[in-house]
Amino acid sequence: VGMGESRDDRVGLLESLANLPEHPQSVPINYLVQVAGTPLAGTAALDPLEFVRTIA
């Protein structure tokens, strides 16, 4: 989460997971930590509360 995706993108992922024939036992969710010199270093930082809303 935080790799430049939109809220709609995250909602779409959750809808896809909810509609799988069998629910996954776990879904790893990572919060992007930007590192200088990497391709995603310049992306807009995700608001921490938005991250909490995503995983709640």
pTM of the full structure: 0.72
Q: What percent of the chain has pLDDT over 70?
A: 100
Question: pLDDT 10s per residue in the chain (56 long)?
Answer: 988 889 999 999 989 999 999 989 999 999 999 999 999 998 888 899 999 988 88
| CA gyration radius, the chain | 13
Which strand (E) or helix (H) includes residue 52? helix 48-55
List own/partner pairs for 2-7 with CB under 8 A and 24 or more apart.
2/31, 2/32, 2/43, 2/45, 2/46, 2/51, 3/32, 3/40, 3/43, 4/40, 4/43, 4/44, 7/50
Q: What's the half-sphere exposure (Cβ side, CA atoms, 13 Å) at 42?
A: 2
